[in-house]
Chain A
Amino acid sequence: MSVLEVLSGALLIAGALAVLTGGVGMLRFPDFYTRIHAAGITDSAGAGLILLGLLLRVDTWNTAVRLLIILLFLALTSPTATHILAHAARRDGVPMWRKGDPRR
């Protein structure tokens, strides 16, 4: 196994863990706004780590370009979508969870 493969494997595993963490957080966190933070782990760290991990095991340049384009798209669109969502929810008056409140 070459160094690149080991590195790629490590990135992939870290990405898988981040994705899993995001999913668990989506279920465990108490309200909408805190769940956005959990989803953010999947969207930024998880996606970035997995795509970088795949990037280290490409064999042609146009695969690499496609991976980079996906990475760029996700880095641009996911925070924008999240921001629009949070903004809309706030304008709609979705209540904010404070410590001690029941889960919702």
Chain B
Amino acid sequence: MSLLDHDSAGAASAQQQPRRKNTMRFLRTAPLPVVFWLLLSGHYEPLLLALGALSVAVVCWLTRRAGLDHRSVTFAFALRLPRYFLWLSGSVLVSTFAVARKVWSPRPDLRPVVEPIPTPHLQELSQVVYANSITLTPGTLSLDVEANHIEVHSLERSGVDELRKGLMLRRVRQTEAQR
């Protein structure tokens, strides 16, 4: 939804300065596949470099055509991401332990609940990050992502309560680009 808004806003201003806007968009999309290609190929002969450049161009074109050139992924955001990942892996380990105990206990005590978790005023990208983090943590699972809440299925009530406290949400907000 807000992805579409972004896109139409971009298209409107693209009409004023078509050439420059397109180049800017291309430059924003290109670095990721370029780095990816360079890391994976390990061959730097002219022919292969040309083929690589060609494939990067094709990827950029396809990305644009699919409407996926997302402008909220900024460099600063990417720099803040590793720290978030570290914190997330810590909490993943903790909840893995809790769920593993349930798996191995002779009579697992499961009381699954489904509850909405409010996510007020969250950018789309942060919402994706938040929903994915919820799913990545064992014991909680995002069922449905709406405009200002996420439906969460949890193995027990404590998982939902933990999310309600908003520790993860605060981390996501810190990671989100301040604009």
Interface bracket on B: 20 to 34
Chain B residues in 8 Å Cβ range of A2: none
Interface membership of chain B positions 35-47, coded 1 if the CB is closer than 8 angstroms to chain A and 0 otherwise = 0100110100000
Stretch of B7-15, B96-104, B165-173 with 4 or more beta carbons under 8 angstroms from chain A: B96-104
How close is B139's CB to chain A, nearest CB, in angstroms? 6
* Interchain CB contact (< 8 A) of B99 among A25, A66, A80: A25
Q: Which residue of B lies closest to A18 (CB)?
A: B96
Do B112 and A97 touch across chains, with their CB atoms under 8 A apart?
Answer: yes
State in angstroms the CA–CA spacing of A6 and B83 once bound together. 26
How close is A54's CB to chain B, nearest CB, in angstroms? 16
Does B174 touch A at the CB level, under 8 Å?
Answer: no
Do B99 and A38 touch across chains, with their CB atoms under 8 A apart?
Answer: yes
Given contacts A17-B100, A69-B36, A83-B142, 19 further A-B contacts (CB under 8 A): A21-B99, A25-B99, A34-B112, A36-B141, A37-B99, A41-B96, A41-B100, A41-B103, A43-B136, A62-B42, A79-B133, A79-B136, A83-B135, A86-B135, A86-B141, A90-B143, A96-B114, A98-B111, A99-B110
Chain A residues in 8 Å Cβ range of B155: 34, 37
Chain A residues in 8 Å Cβ range of B137: 40, 44
State in angstroms the CA–CA spacing of A41 and B104 once bound together. 13
Chain B residues in 8 Å Cβ range of A43: 136
SS class of chain A's interface: helix, strand, loop or mixed?
A: helix
Do A18 and B108 touch across chains, with their CB atoms under 8 A apart?
Answer: no
State in angstroms the CA–CA spacing of A1 and B145 once bound together. 49
A-B contact pairs, 21 of them (CB 8 A): A18-B96, A24-B103, A28-B108, A30-B110, A34-B155, A36-B153, A38-B99, A44-B137, A45-B92, A45-B93, A76-B132, A80-B132, A80-B135, A82-B141, A83-B142, A83-B145, A86-B142, A86-B143, A86-B153, A98-B111, A98-B112
Q: A-side interface residues toward B, CB under 8 Å? A: 17-18, 21-22, 24-25, 28-30, 33-34, 36-38, 40-41, 43-45, 48, 62, 65-66, 69, 75-76, 78-80, 82-83, 86-87, 90, 96-99
* Interchain CB contact (< 8 A) of A83 among B36, B96, B132: B132
Chain B residues in 8 Å Cβ range of A82: 135, 141
State in angstroms the CA–CA spacing of A90 and B103 once bound together. 23
Chain A residues in 8 Å Cβ range of B153: 33, 36, 86, 96
